[in-house]
Amino acid sequence: MKPVIDSHIHLDLYDRNEREQILRELPLYQVDSLLAVSFHLSSCLQTLSYKHPSIKHALGYHPEQALPETKELEAITELIRNNRSTIVAIGEVGLPYYTDHGDMKNYAALLEHFIKLAKELQKPVILHAIYEGADIACDLLEKHEVTDAHFHWFKGSEQTLDRMKKKGYRISVTPDCVYEQEIQSIIEHYPIELLMVETDGPWQFEGKYEGQLTHPKMIHDSIATIAQIKHLPIDRVYEIMYKNTKHFYKLDAPEKGNR
């Protein structure tokens, strides 16, 4: 077991006891960092309130909900600008897939707003964009020449994967890679230097994880699965996943005060 980074977790959606347990157990499972993403304005504020040294913050608006009111979007945007020197990314943002709000044009406009903000502030963008939504996201990324894009828990066609490969976009996989053939196929076909690992906790998983608290320790199983699929020594995969995430999110850079 070597150090790992959870590149996508909703810490604010755990209850307090669960969150404290996870943070307490990070050293036990060699979890170096958690990249805490946000859901909406109150989520952004709660995420920013976590001062643990292993927690890295990302601010955004999750697309699987009604569009934000103008005041909320303005407040989130201001919060991102005011914390640009300490947050590591903008996210989670993207396009709805699991909930039908029947307003894809306005969701795409909202995503474009965050992509433009990411370019302006030179921050990576964390995307919830799967299947046909991923192609819309790629269109917007290309339009604004943004390359620091992380498609979390990606699902989509081989054609979209090929497009993303050419642009160097990152993909992260969850513990469902242990039992989901679709995700295993993505791992097989996507360059390992563009892969990362995540939990998307507290989302719960099936198979061997049925009924379990989603915990960053599960990432060690994901690493083993990637090593098996890629026919690489597990120690090498640990090193690649760790370096990929550290480099992409600039986690080695010294923190600065807000500007």
- Nearest to residue 88, comparing CAs of 186, 177, 22, 5? 5
**pLDDT at residue 99, rounded to an integer:** 81
Rounded distance between C-alpha atoms, residue 2 and residue 41, angstroms: 35
pLDDT grade, residue 101 (50/70/90)? low
**pLDDT at residue 98, rounded to an integer:** 85
pLDDT grade, residue 253 (50/70/90)? low
Domains of the chain in sequence order: 4-248 (3.20.20.140)
pLDDT grade, residue 119 (50/70/90)? very high
**pLDDT at residue 54, rounded to an integer:** 97
% of the chain at pLDDT higher than 70: 97
Q: Dump pLDDT digits (tens) for 200-241.
A: 999 999 999 999 999 999 999 999 999 999 999 999 999 999
138-160 average pLDDT score: 96
Phi, psi dihedral angles at 75 (to 5 degrees): -70, -40
35-41 average pLDDT score: 97
- Would the pLDDT of 105 be above 70? yes
**pLDDT at residue 100, rounded to an integer:** 75
**pLDDT at residue 2, rounded to an integer:** 97
Q: Dump pLDDT digits (tens) for 65-80.
A: 999 999 999 999 999 9
pLDDT grade, residue 254 (50/70/90)? low
Residue type at 107?
A: Y
- Would the pLDDT of 257 be above 50? no
pTM for the full predicted model: 0.95
% of the chain at pLDDT higher than 90: 93
Rounded distance between C-alpha atoms, residue 185 and residue 189, angstroms: 6
Rounded distance between C-alpha atoms, residue 212 and residue 163, angstroms: 36
- Would the pLDDT of 255 be above 60? no
In this structure, what is the dihedral angle of CA atoms 222, 228, 230, 231, given to the nearest 10 degrees? 150
Both tokens of 254, joined, read 């010294």
**pLDDT at residue 136, rounded to an integer:** 95
8 A C-beta contact, residue 191 and residue 166: no
**pLDDT at residue 252, rounded to an integer:** 77
